[in-house]
Structure 1
Amino acid sequence: MEKRQAEQEIAALRKQIAYHNQRYYVEDNPEIDDYEYDMLYLRLQNLEAQYPELVTEDSPTQKIGGPAVNTFAPVVHEVPMESLHDSFSEEEMLDFDRKVREAVQDPLYVVEPKFDGLSVSLEYRDGEFVRGSTRGDGLVGEDVTENLRTIRTVPKRLKTQLPFIEVRGEVYMSHQSFLELCERQELNDEKPFKNPRNAAAGSLRQKDSRITASRKLDIFVFNIQQASGADFGSHAESLQFLQELGFTVSPHYSLCRTIDEALEQIRQIGELRGKLDYSIDGAVVKVNDFAQRELLGSTAKFPRWAEAFKYPPEEKETTLLDIEINVGRTGVLTPTGIFEPVELAGTTVSRATLHNEDFIKEKDIRVGSVVILRKAGEIIPEVVSVLRHGTDSVPFVMPDRCPSCGAPVKREEGEAALRCMNPECPAQLLRHLIHFASRDAMDIDGLGPAVLEQLLNKGLLSSAADLYTLTLEQLVELERMGEKSSQNLIHAIEKTKQNDLYRLIFALGIPHIGLKAAKLLAMTFRSMEGLLAATAEEIAAIDGIGGIMAESLRDSLKQENTHKLIERMKAVGVNMETQLTIEDGRFRGKIFVLTGTLPNLSRKEAAALIEKLGGKVSASVSKKTDYVVAGEEAGSKLTKANQLGIQILTESELLTLAEE
């Protein structure tokens, strides 16, 4: 390759890698899997090795990890949290061993699994946990102390008191916890995380530590960064000491005398993939002796005394036998491939999601096709590519009606999925009921997912209207529901009959109609009868209601099943009118954006105050924004507001404006 061609490819690779780094490290939402990313990175490394004069300081190969984002306070790492150089073959590992032996004599190696999670630092003073941070770019990370405190395997106090110790570990989410989280996200109509690593990273970066606590994160600790009051000569000794202090270290590390022993251990760890309840994407080989590590030193990015061996994704060839259409709890129609069974990453695989209509068309997947399967994140089987089509195979066509209830399905603008629009579809009933009972909807205290599942399993609910006909005798038969709890629940359900109309509109779970839109609709049309009679043009004319929202509302309300549900609600005495009014309209036409943590008001309370006075609360800053109300740790929204010259208000200034 000529230098000019290399220069062009290097520039393109750097742009690609920077984009994927942003998706992976900052947004926790990658578009490609680790192996594809590794191959891009390896190609860039090879080209830069061939043309060293083209290496620049801002190249991804010269940086560690990803940048720290502005969500949390920055932490400067006294000891850099280095990344590792990757190898993809045994020949490369032998080359690593040769370089080590050129510098030191008779090295011993410690081989450990390479956990696929989020690297963190934990600091302890006098045995007490005082600070925890993410790796960030290796030099500066984020302070996530309070969120790390919620992880049960992070010791809050060490078994042996030391003046100071900083350790490094990997926060991860078990496969079981990941699947449970994805199920909850689906019920809440949220986009599920793609793999446990991104779920762990997203959970650790939550502003509300209660959310982090609910995600059941875990940690393995694998290194001592610095310590006072303790001294070690080797890595194996330090791992033993970490266990004595109360940390959880890898259960599968071993001491090897030769590189051949290390390679055998790498193979054994590789055989564990798919059998563990956590993700590993490789194995790490480290020189055991700390004095030898000092002699070997580090490059600008990697230690020379350690090497990561990355396992390639296991792929198998099989035949697609059939395509089933499943209706999820949010009404989305998901095609699932049925395959000839194959062994993949330790388990037998015969089913895999085909995601949506676009995915099938893009890869031209057909019944009878011979395909390549692999497991994404060692958990979820997926089709990588189609090798060839079977005889007489034809392109697959998605159905135009819901397989569960027979109602029409629709592909909404901006979505890749087809969705059943029937609010009483049996396949999505649980999700609808959870939403109906939620705090911002009908707010039925004591009616959580566990109780609803029992009611559904006993055949007591076929729609939300059935909640209002439940009896004490039916409820006391449920698990963990005594007479008092049952009476309280019946009272809570009865109480919701007096709710304002906007709560019922929101509770119907109409796509794109959130709580703010429900309030606008209630204030405009005043009754359910008025809303049902409104045209799409009249709905879209409301400031704050767009065309997509209006169309979605009209499509849902014209469904026969929706009409029946509303009529049943009306028959049992659920309120169909609103009492919402704008008090004096002093904020009418004004757009507010809330950012940061306010000293006294919650965001919900501040938004309610603004809306009560006729203002609108927007999620993003634009030239149309009139005011930005900023609290502590206000981030990019405040920066953008200053750039646009938008007036900034404190909480007290907002309250003063509201009282004038």
Structure 2
Amino acid sequence: MNEYLKNIELANTWAKAYYLDETPLASDAEYDELMKKIKEFEKNNPDKIAKNSPTLNVLPLKLDKINDGFNKVKHLSKMYSMEDVFDENELKAWIKKNNAEDEEFFIEPKFDGASLNLLYENGKLIVAATRGDGEIGDDVTLNAMQIASIPKNINYDKKIEIRGEIVIYKEDFLKLNEIKLQNNESLFSNPRNAASGSLRLKDSSLIKERNLQFYPHGIGVNELSFKTHKECMDFIRSLGFLKDDFCKVVKASELQAEYLKLQNLRDSKKMMLDGFVLRLNDLSKCTEFTSKFPKFMAAYKFSPYEQITKLINVSFQVGRTGVITPVGEVQSVNIDGVNVRFVTLHNFDEIKRLDLMLNDSVSIIRSGDVIPKLTSVYKQRRDNTQKPILKPQHCPSCNESLHDEGALLKCVNLNCKAKLLNQIIYFTSKKCLNIDGLGESIITLLFNEGKIKSLLDIFSLDENSFFALAGFADKKISNILNSINKAKDVKLSSFINSLGIEHIGEVAAYKIASEFKNEWINKSYDDYIKLDGFGEAMASSVVEFIKINIELINTLYEILNVKIDENSSLKFSNQSFVITGTLSKERTFYENIILENGGKISSSVSKKTTYLLCGQNAGSKLDKAKQLNIKIINESEFEAL
């Protein structure tokens, strides 16, 4: 009983922090697990259910008791939360409990964002309010007016509450955090927090920069006379609201298959999803509620992308430019079927911003194949065992003193082995010399065995270099040596990129090659600063690199057959491309064609954009291109160009 009461107290604290304070103290998965324990106890002890149980109350504290600077608005009809199911067995039990085996269901994605209620009267948006405690929300009307996907006027003059989710697309979330990183501000932990925090901005003028989106999913008070939820939502979306392409009516027997379909689409969706919503389509059967849930709908939750664990150690990796990157080791945690033990910590400024300490409870996010990231620190859980993370004074590889540049620590020792190894790995990689068969693991083995000590040693490898090394048959050795010889024919842009010059990536290397040809090593700072897109850091980096490494560059020129990039046709001269969405080939395939034909590639859509090359599940870039009347093309149209 004591454990049950403690769980209730903890669940109520977490619920208040999530719904009212909007500063979560736990992950969704933790909260769901805690609620399972509470429900299990109450199922076995129905006569001992506490009055303050979260299964009876949405929140332990009403929103009208909170003074946070926002005007409070009472919803005309209550905004309920949904009952959760977590696997096929629970789904079947829910269907059986509701006698819905023969029913039709309206299904749609459950967006991971912030709930919003829009009240329209006489065709005009009167009030926009957050969900709050379900009965009373915060008045965020001025902010909602700045969101392009929320119509200010609709072609319906009767009173109606339109409900939905405010989301931020994943690509916009990344941009937002990049800006915050540049401004030395704390990062948003996930798109949901970014959407929720944006709704509560005190300065409404900042909303447009966030590119928030509103997707309706239901209605409150209304005078509509439709018989099905699908008809109702079709009408709502005809008023000018957005619609996701995964909204449909299915039979109860099809729910599991549709859930799996959406789960497979999860990574390719523009916004974060945390589940799948199912509700009876027949509105005449959508009338019963518990104190907390509608009985006619449920949320079928996905495996979480976010978990909470503990940071147990921080190690330091040396990159090819000498930058020291802190890497966190956490207590192993399973996220969507993958055991995660290591996470990126970005840099030391981010550690400082997070106020991160060893042995902290932390939130880890992993999405698709993206490297897991540590996004939040739960300082409320500290127990005096935490220790500060100290900047290293010496390189973990060569032990030389490190150069402190504030956010970055750098090893400037030219003979540092870790730097050399990563330089060699990069030099041979796909976007550089592209030596097939000579991957990271083989290079690391050859480096550790002393067979490779520099970039030049790659071209001195022979059969004897692999003698006595396990796993190298004659054919494998022959293939590697043939690939090295083949890689000697290299485009100038790839050669420049392979050198690993700081601040110079694939696109910048192409600009250098296109503009200066082989004279690039003789150009000055004044020449480089004039290149389109080059700033002081880039220009200085190239000139300094040439000055220090001219002997190495000349030797590589003697070994390699460096070819001037062929762009004689210049079909895309003075044309700017932006690429978005999922394409049938890797993005670099299209980027190379554009660059080789004299075009430019930009990361954002503007009036200067010539074409938007658009794949499936395109995001905000597509919306922006439509607004600016930019020519939008698909893969077939691109090939036709």
Which position in structure 1 is the counterpart of 2:40?
46
Tell me: CA distance 1:113–1:32, structure 2 relative to 1, closer, same or farther (3 Å).
same
Mapping of residues 303-322 of structure 1, within 5 Å? 303-313=294-304
Note the aligned Cα RMSD (angstroms).
4.5
Which position in structure 1 is the counterpart of 2:30?
36
Partner amino acid, structure 1, of 2:290: T
Which position in structure 2 is the counterpart of 1:551?
none
Between the aligned partners of 1:338 and 1:11, the Cα distance in structure 2 is: 34
Structure 2 unaligned regions, length at least 5: 308-312, 376-388, 411-500, 504-531, 544-573, 575-641
Question: 1:163 Cα deviation (Å)?
Answer: 1.8
Between the aligned partners of 2:130 and 2:368, the Cα distance in structure 1 is: 21
Between the aligned partners of 1:378 and 1:20, the Cα distance in structure 2 is: 30
Question: 1:26 Cα deviation (Å)?
Answer: 3.4
Which position in structure 1 is the counterpart of 2:85?
87
Question: 1:335 Cα deviation (Å)?
Answer: 1.5
Question: 1:234 Cα deviation (Å)?
Answer: 0.6
Tell me: CA distance 1:405–1:292, structure 2 relative to 1, closer, same or farther (3 Å).
farther
Between the aligned partners of 1:152 and 1:335, the Cα distance in structure 2 is: 40
Q: Is the 8 A contact 2:502 2:541 kept in 1?
A: no
Partner amino acid, structure 1, of 2:297: A
Between the aligned partners of 2:298 and 2:153, the Cα distance in structure 1 is: 32
SS in 2 for 1:109: strand
Which position in structure 1 is the counterpart of 2:108?
112
Tell me: CA distance 1:11–1:163, structure 2 relative to 1, closer, same or farther (3 Å).
same
Between the aligned partners of 1:350 and 1:453, the Cα distance in structure 2 is: 38
Q: Is the 8 A contact 2:76 2:220 kept in 1?
A: no
Question: 1:124 Cα deviation (Å)?
Answer: 1.1
Question: 1:420 Cα deviation (Å)?
Answer: 6.2
Structure 1 unaligned regions, length at least 5: 1-6, 365-371, 385-395, 411-417, 429-450, 463-478, 480-660
2:213 counterpart of 1:218: yes
Partner amino acid, structure 1, of 2:91: M
2:296 counterpart of 1:301: no
Q: Given the alignment, which residue of 314, 324, 336 partners 2:317?
A: 324
Which position in structure 2 is the counterpart of 1:407?
403
Which position in structure 2 is the counterpart of 1:288?
281
Between the aligned partners of 1:149 and 1:379, the Cα distance in structure 2 is: 34
Q: Is the 8 A contact 2:303 2:335 kept in 1?
A: no
Partner amino acid, structure 2, of 1:218: Q
Between the aligned partners of 1:116 and 1:315, the Cα distance in structure 2 is: 12
Between the aligned partners of 2:40 and 2:52, the Cα distance in structure 1 is: 17
Which position in structure 1 is the counterpart of 2:482?
none
Question: 1:351 Cα deviation (Å)?
Answer: 8.3
Tell me: CA distance 1:325–1:129, structure 2 relative to 1, closer, same or farther (3 Å).
farther
Q: Given the alignment, which residue of 51, 70, 73 partners 1:72?
A: 70
Question: 1:195 Cα deviation (Å)?
Answer: 0.6
Q: Given the alignment, which residue of 96, 99, 109 partners 1:98?
A: 96
Q: Identity over the aligned pairs, expressed in percent?
A: 30
Between the aligned partners of 1:383 and 1:192, the Cα distance in structure 2 is: 11
Tell me: CA distance 1:398–1:251, structure 2 relative to 1, closer, same or farther (3 Å).
same
Q: Is the 8 A contact 1:108 1:288 kept in 2?
A: yes
SS in 2 for 1:300: coil
Q: Is the 8 A contact 2:109 2:275 kept in 1?
A: yes
Question: 1:382 Cα deviation (Å)?
Answer: 4.1
SS in 2 for 1:61: coil
Q: Is the 8 A contact 1:122 1:166 kept in 2?
A: yes
Which position in structure 1 is the counterpart of 2:247?
253
Q: Is the 8 A contact 2:317 2:324 kept in 1?
A: no
Tell me: CA distance 1:379–1:72, structure 2 relative to 1, closer, same or farther (3 Å).
farther
Question: 1:166 Cα deviation (Å)?
Answer: 1.0
Question: 1:456 Cα deviation (Å)?
Answer: 3.6
2:142 counterpart of 1:146: yes
Between the aligned partners of 1:188 and 1:457, the Cα distance in structure 2 is: 20
2:254 counterpart of 1:264: no
Partner amino acid, structure 2, of 1:97: I
TM-score (norm 2): 0.53
SS in 2 for 1:60: coil
Which position in structure 1 is the counterpart of 2:185?
190
Tell me: CA distance 1:249–1:402, structure 2 relative to 1, closer, same or farther (3 Å).
farther
Which position in structure 2 is the counterpart of 1:618?
none
Q: Is the 8 A contact 1:455 1:461 kept in 2?
A: no
Between the aligned partners of 1:25 and 1:380, the Cα distance in structure 2 is: 29
SS in 1 for 2:98: helix
2:159 counterpart of 1:164: yes
Between the aligned partners of 2:126 and 2:318, the Cα distance in structure 1 is: 51
SS in 1 for 2:197: helix
Q: Is the 8 A contact 2:119 2:128 kept in 1?
A: yes
Tell me: CA distance 1:278–1:346, structure 2 relative to 1, closer, same or farther (3 Å).
farther
Could you report, residue by residue, the CA deviation over 1:21-60 in whole angstroms, capped at 9, with x for unpaired residues?
A: 3432334333432112211122122222222333233222
Question: 1:130 Cα deviation (Å)?
Answer: 1.2
Tell me: CA distance 1:149–1:377, structure 2 relative to 1, closer, same or farther (3 Å).
farther
Question: 1:161 Cα deviation (Å)?
Answer: 2.6
Q: Is the 8 A contact 2:279 2:296 kept in 1?
A: yes
Question: 1:274 Cα deviation (Å)?
Answer: 1.5
Q: Given the alignment, which residue of 175, 183, 189 partners 1:180?
A: 175
Could you report, residue by residue, the CA deviation over 1:67-97 in whole angstroms, capped at 9, with x for unpaired residues?
A: 5453311111121000001111111111111
Tell me: CA distance 1:427–1:200, structure 2 relative to 1, closer, same or farther (3 Å).
farther
Question: 1:427 Cα deviation (Å)?
Answer: 10
Q: Is the 8 A contact 2:20 2:132 kept in 1?
A: no
SS in 1 for 2:289: coil
SS in 2 for 1:62: coil
Between the aligned partners of 2:131 and 2:301, the Cα distance in structure 1 is: 20
Between the aligned partners of 1:362 and 1:194, the Cα distance in structure 2 is: 19
Question: 1:360 Cα deviation (Å)?
Answer: 9.0
Which position in structure 2 is the counterpart of 1:277?
270
Q: Is the 8 A contact 2:305 2:367 kept in 1?
A: no
SS in 2 for 1:186: helix
Between the aligned partners of 1:107 and 1:129, the Cα distance in structure 2 is: 35
Question: 1:305 Cα deviation (Å)?
Answer: 0.3
Between the aligned partners of 2:151 and 2:290, the Cα distance in structure 1 is: 33
Between the aligned partners of 1:54 and 1:99, the Cα distance in structure 2 is: 23
Between the aligned partners of 2:71 and 2:242, the Cα distance in structure 1 is: 27
Between the aligned partners of 1:189 and 1:35, the Cα distance in structure 2 is: 30
Question: 1:10 Cα deviation (Å)?
Answer: 1.7
Which position in structure 1 is the counterpart of 2:54?
60
Between the aligned partners of 1:170 and 1:28, the Cα distance in structure 2 is: 15
